[in-house]
Homo-oligomer: A and B are copies of this chain.
């Protein structure tokens, strides 16, 4: 696009949506947050008062009809993602959508196909860890040959225990542990290993602290292995029950070295030596861990659209992450490996 800034409308002003709105309004140099959309009046008020957003919509279709917008950001419920992406493309907008594309593989594939009709429009589903400085440094080091040929990934997404158990009520709509959490690790493993084709997965899980998940077929801790067709492998661990904090980390093993991203989830650069030993405090949640990456992701999208550069992530990546995560869930529920080849 031959423009100096991208005119954006954002849909969804929940906790994460407001963060995106603030970034786009204030911290992404070439972005203009010209419109927001939410069915919740308080959220609309917040955007007007806090950000001074000029155009406010209660209805998504109305925002899509706004011809002064180049792109939309979708920070809406997962169940709406696929259709809203398609509608945005139909309305001639570029689209950024929070992960996941959909919890349902056929829907993912449908949206991938739909997007092919609009080769001049750009669509990306955000897997925020791609934009984290440490993951990017790891990826660069791999590409420079720093660890030889990578052939194995261990990746975990482990959330701090929320004693209120609030996540349990979202379990039915989150797709379960593997689709909600491991989908990030799957995406990272594919990226760091060079996008090999997944061949087969196997997963198991347990309800260490939330037996109420069992009737839904869900677990609060799960582990899985994934074989790729080039012989590389991945192990995944997802947890809702860490005592110390949000502990997301990834190891990438190659023939000449190993990289570990995020081991020891230090909150900051303070080390405490006292009666408890020598210690660092841990990150409370994914947001503190990836705050800078959320911003970098916005910049990447805006710059790539304006400059006609490729995205780091495609809709195919998003669909494949859902496909593999769905297979993990199926394996955990059936006790059998699932072939993906």
Interface residues of A (CB under 8 A from B): 26-27, 29, 133-134, 137-138, 141, 146-149, 151-152, 154, 200, 202-209, 221, 223-225, 227, 231-233, 235, 237, 239, 241-245, 247, 253-282, 335-337
Q: Which 3 A-B pairs have the closest CB atoms?
A: A279-B279, A257-B274, A134-B269
A74 CB to nearest chain B CB (Å): 25
The copy count of this chain in the complex is 4
With A27-B26, A268-B134 given, is the CB distance from A151 to B257 under 8 Å? no
Q: Chain B residue with minimal CB distance to A136?
A: B268
Q: Could you name 25 residue pairs across A and B whose Cβ atoms are closer than 8 Å?
A: A133-B268, A137-B270, A148-B243, A151-B221, A152-B223, A152-B237, A200-B204, A202-B202, A206-B232, A208-B231, A208-B255, A223-B225, A242-B258, A243-B256, A243-B257, A243-B273, A244-B274, A244-B275, A244-B277, A257-B275, A260-B270, A262-B269, A266-B278, A276-B277, A277-B280
- Once bound together, how far apart are the Cα atoms of A160 and B64, in whole Å? 53
Decide if B264 touches A278 in the complex (CB within 8 Å): yes
User: Are B279's CB and A278's CB within 8 A?
Assistant: yes
Give Cα distance in the complex from A121 to B335, angstroms.
43
